[in-house]
Structure 1
Amino acid sequence: MTNADPQELAKFSDLAHRWWDPESEFRPLHQINPLRLDWIDQQANINGKRVVDVGCGGGILAESMARRGANVLGIDLADRPLKVAQLHAMESGVANLDYRSVSAEALAAEQPGQFDVVTCMEMLEHVPDPSSVVRACAQMAKPGGWIFFSTLNRNPKSFLFAIVGAEYLLKLLPKGTHEFARFIRPAELTRWAREADLSTTQMKGLEYNPITRRYWLSGDTSVNYMIACRKPAKA
């Protein structure tokens, strides 16, 4: 059984044609992308590195990492966003970037220990078994490699901000984008990382001001957050 929810795949496929419109439902992804790209690059120095972006969607992060000089493979199981990603990369003339329809678990079995950097951003809260994806990401990384995750914390504040606020009041995201029960506490994510033999090196929160419409990184992980992990180097 593939670790994917058909309803989640359909949800993002239906919006695929709007993925690269910075004023569409994907505006938040366009706005946060420079922040997460810089944060990943500061730690992993992605230029010339082999990178896999798990749950790449329409390719916003994958393409930006390729533009920074990384050799990027974007993977997803939603075919329409993948086609949008491929078309945009072709139209933009971005080299060193490829896309595949394959699960994280399948690619981990096929190419264990082959990637310098693994990114899995805004994806874990959309799959039935997020811990399986964490294990697969760890398996894909080379010894000493970097693994980055981002997701949403599960608490009353995140319900208020990420669902009531973002989806219903501010309409930053389409209604039904997120399911609160699938949000992941930092303690859960770091435990899964530890069980996959990864060490968590840094955690950052991502905050938003609805008045200025500005995002920034902070130490507040109560709603959106990202973690950086390392795989042990060979002894």
Structure 2
Amino acid sequence: MSSHSDKINNANGPSIDENEIEKFRAMASEWWDPKGKFKPLHKFNPVRLAFLRDRITSHFNLDDTQRTPLQGLHILDIGCGGGLVSEPMARLGARMTSVDAGEANIKTAMTHAQENGVDIDYRIGTAEELVEKNEEKFDVVLNLEVVEHVADAHQFIKDTASLVKPGGLIFVASINRTSKAFALAIVGAEYIMGWLPKGTHEFHKLVKPDEVRNALKAGHMQIEETTGVSYNPLSGEWSLSSDTMVNYMCVASKSE
């Protein structure tokens, strides 16, 4: 594994002040606590990761029986938060560039990755900055649970699509703008169950699958698949489903 010190102090990466490490270690323990306030993401993660692994290995004809089947792929995780997707993808062999606008998120993710010996290029930044620099394109772009938090979802999806290499893939995951999603993802998850802080999601900012697909097409992507992800309150488990009325994931490819 390469040293992290060069990553932490380079122009792309945020420098970690030794005095701040404890604070970010505490935040990392929150992000990475499966019973803490990010519990919904931890519950959701196995289904999401299996889906990503399956679709990526299939698209690139990779050997899914390998311990690191994503070896050789450069993946961008935009809006990576505390690294809950970035780290497992790195462990599967991918070279990860993981970007988030929140400095605290990045420092938290970086602290956790260091402690666990996972090499990830973490950066504070935005999709727009990556597009503007026009230095890098990626085999896969992960745009997961971000579009409902940005100012202009259509432009953001187009921007992230422009970062995909010819022959590459993009994944967009979000919450649908439906009455069912309002009842379950906002009223249920935030106000009744207390899974998420109140106000995490604003209904008018939720994005419908058609809107995601239209933005992807405008970004010169071919839609491959849209699948729902459903929660079973009896088992407490998530699974892929045909119901896209609440959570959904959309996959699109860029022609060679």
Distance in structure 1 (CA, Å) of the matches to 2:227 and 2:176: 12
1:112 Cα deviation from its structure 2 partner: 5.4
The AA in structure 2 aligned to 1:184 is V
State the partner residue of 1:51: 75
1:81 lines up with 2:97 in the alignment = no
The AA in structure 2 aligned to 1:150 is A
For residues 21-55 of structure 1, what are the alpha-carbon distances to aligned partners after superposition, in whole Å with 9 as ceiling and x for unaligned? 11111111111112111111111123320000000
* SS of residue in 1 equivalent to 2:85: helix
Higher mean C-alpha deviation, range 40-49 or range 198-207: 40-49
Higher mean C-alpha deviation, range 128-137 or range 188-197: 128-137
Aligned with residue 21 of structure 1, among 17, 23, 33:
33
TM-score, normalization: structure 1?
A: 0.89
Indicate conservation of the 8 Å contact 2:130/2:136, yes or no. no
1:168 lines up with 2:180 in the alignment = no
State the partner residue of 1:3: none
State the partner residue of 2:164: 141
Q: Once superposed, what is the RMSD of the aligned Cα atoms?
A: 1.5
The AA in structure 2 aligned to 1:67 is R
Aligned with residue 37 of structure 1, among 49, 68, 78:
49
TM-score, normalization: structure 2?
A: 0.82
Aligned with residue 153 of structure 2, among 130, 133, 139:
130
1:113 Cα deviation from its structure 2 partner: 5.7
Long gaps (5+) in structure 1: 1-12
Indicate conservation of the 8 Å contact 1:112/1:140, yes or no. no
1:225 lines up with 2:248 in the alignment = yes
State the partner residue of 2:8: none
The AA in structure 2 aligned to 1:120 is N
Indicate conservation of the 8 Å contact 1:113/1:139, yes or no. no
* Moved beyond 3 Å, runs of 4+: none
Distance in structure 2 (CA, Å) of the matches to 1:173 and 1:217: 21
Task: Provide the identity percentage.
Answer: 41
State the partner residue of 2:90: 66
Higher mean C-alpha deviation, range 16-25 or range 137-146: 16-25
Long gaps (5+) in structure 2: 1-23, 58-69
* SS of residue in 1 equivalent to 2:162: helix
Aligned pair count reads 219
State the partner residue of 1:109: 132
State the partner residue of 2:178: 155
1:16 Cα deviation from its structure 2 partner: 4.5
